Structure 1
Amino acid sequence: MTTNCELCGTELHSSTQRMLCEVCTASCGQQLAALPHLYRQLADELSPLGSNWPCGNGGHGTAVDAPMPLAEHPLVLRAGGGIVGVLEDWRAALHQDRGWAPPRLAPGVEPRVHAAVKALTANLPWIAERWPAAGEFAGEIRALYREVTSVVAPREYRGVRLGHCPAVYDGVLCGSVLWAAPGTAAVTCEWCSAEYPPRLWEWLRGVQAELEQAS
């Protein structure tokens, strides 16, 4: 029997039908296992961003007067509709498709993340072999993992950490972490795409220094 992996499209030659290849299954399992740890690391990105940004010229890093006490992107990922929302939606869909009662939710967001990861991981062999939604599930877990690691990935992967992005769009401060990858000529925010070429680096350092003093 020849089928294709629902995520990467690789041909599968097996006596039994599978939805995900072994590589995609293993990757999904590793990404699931990392999410509780990444959830906790996101707390380190919630440092106060201050409210009085100094004025500067050029680039996307404009000044803002409205206070933004927490970095918004990490806050959203840690809230009920972020990591835990994605995991619990898939856990609920799994229970429904297997004819099980709806899962009971643990008190507190972090315990719910752990519970959802544990349940999805325990069912990953069945998901990879039989669940028609396996490709969509694995793709969304991969996207979630990449989104979170864009904020908290280690230095050796992202480059040098350069503080928070001061870009403001529609009155909302980005606040995502800026990383200078080795060999790049400009720093680009992976969340809002604001660019900081070398001519703005001195201004960016000044903004962050005043922000640190004000916090």
Structure 2
Amino acid sequence: MSCELCERPADAYLCPACAADLADRLDLLPALYEQLGDMLAPARGDGGRTATVVTAPIPVRLDVVDHRTAFAVLPSWARALADDREQAAQVLRADDLGARVTAACAVLRGAVPWIAATWPAAADLAREVRDLYDGARTVVGADDLPARMGRCPAVVDGAVCGAELLLPHGQQVLRCQWCSATYPPGVWAALRMAQTKVSAA
């Protein structure tokens, strides 16, 4: 059996590395949603002389609106999870999409072990969460978001960990959220070489 997302050997729908990536992204999505909200207004000029405006400007950035609207898929996933587990839906039915997104991410994050091991929809959820996360990052930028540092090359129980390494903004030591391997700045060159060897294998 192999992971339905990355096709690495696994005894579940998602391998440990893909399950860890899913959990990490679910942790970060509520903050990304809020950061997109801060970017809704179009950028203003520098205060210097400007030409007379002939047409009224669009009051919000439509690309940001589109990205925020896409987050509505998360409460839908949480409801689907509750249905398949025959549980009462725990997602808020508030008018505020941000509150529903935060609640849905908490529900899904708490169920990641069950999702990875048991839910046939696990890979579809992981793909949608990854696409949502990556799309939002392209708009927000990465200045105050964790830097993506490749995959963890540490060997755990005879297999490469493979979880995505994320370096939180302002931190110096890189720590794998899955296997807890640490990579201080002095070993980053060796880390890159190890990652290259793993990808070439």
CA displacement at 1:153 relative to structure 2: 2.0
The reply to whether residue 110 of structure 1 matches residue 104 of structure 2 is no
The aligned amino acid for 1:148 is A
Show the counterpart of 1:185.
none
Higher Cα Rg, which structure = 1
Show the counterpart of 1:175.
none
The reply to whether residue 5 of structure 1 matches residue 8 of structure 2 is no
Show the counterpart of 2:70.
82
Determine helix, strand or coil for the equivalent of 1:148: helix
**Matches of 1:116 and 1:7, distance apart in 2:** 22
2:62 is aligned, of 72, 80, 87, to 72
Give yes or no for contact 1:74–1:151 (8 Å, CA) kept in 2: yes
1:134 is aligned, of 104, 122, 141, to 122
2:86 is aligned, of 99, 112, 121, to 99
The aligned amino acid for 1:139 is R
Residues 48-67 of structure 1 aligned to structure 2 (within 5 Å): 48=42, 65=55, 67=57
| Deviations, residues 16-45 of structure 1 (Å, cap 9, x unaligned) | x41101110111111110001111111221
**Matches of 2:66 and 2:100, distance apart in 1:** 16
Determine helix, strand or coil for the equivalent of 1:67: coil
Show the counterpart of 1:123.
111
CA displacement at 1:95 relative to structure 2: 1.0
Q: RMSD of the alignment, in Å? A: 2.4
Show the counterpart of 2:140.
152
Determine helix, strand or coil for the equivalent of 1:154: coil
**Matches of 1:31 and 1:104, distance apart in 2:** 18
Moved over 6 A (4+): none
**Matches of 1:104 and 1:31, distance apart in 2:** 18
Show the counterpart of 1:47.
41
Give yes or no for contact 2:91–2:107 (8 Å, CA) kept in 1: no
Distance 1:103 1:136, change over 3 A: same
Identity %: 38
Unaligned residue ranges in structure 1 (runs of 5+): 55-63, 158-215
Name which structure has the greater RCO, CA cutoff 8 Å, separation 6+: 1
CA displacement at 1:106 relative to structure 2: 4.3
CA displacement at 1:67 relative to structure 2: 3.1
Show the counterpart of 2:168.
none
Unaligned residue ranges in structure 2 (runs of 5+): 45-49, 146-201
Determine helix, strand or coil for the equivalent of 1:11: coil
The aligned amino acid for 1:88 is P
For these two proteins, the number of residue pairs brought into alignment is 138
The aligned amino acid for 1:96 is D
Show the counterpart of 1:193.
none
| Deviations, residues 134-164 of structure 1 (Å, cap 9, x unaligned) | 111101100000010000122499xxxxxxx
Show the counterpart of 2:195.
none
Show the counterpart of 2:19.
25
Determine helix, strand or coil for the equivalent of 2:109: helix
Q: TM-score, normalised by structure 2?
A: 0.62
| Deviations, residues 35-89 of structure 1 (Å, cap 9, x unaligned) | 0111111122112358xx97xxxxxxxxx945311101212333xx421x11111
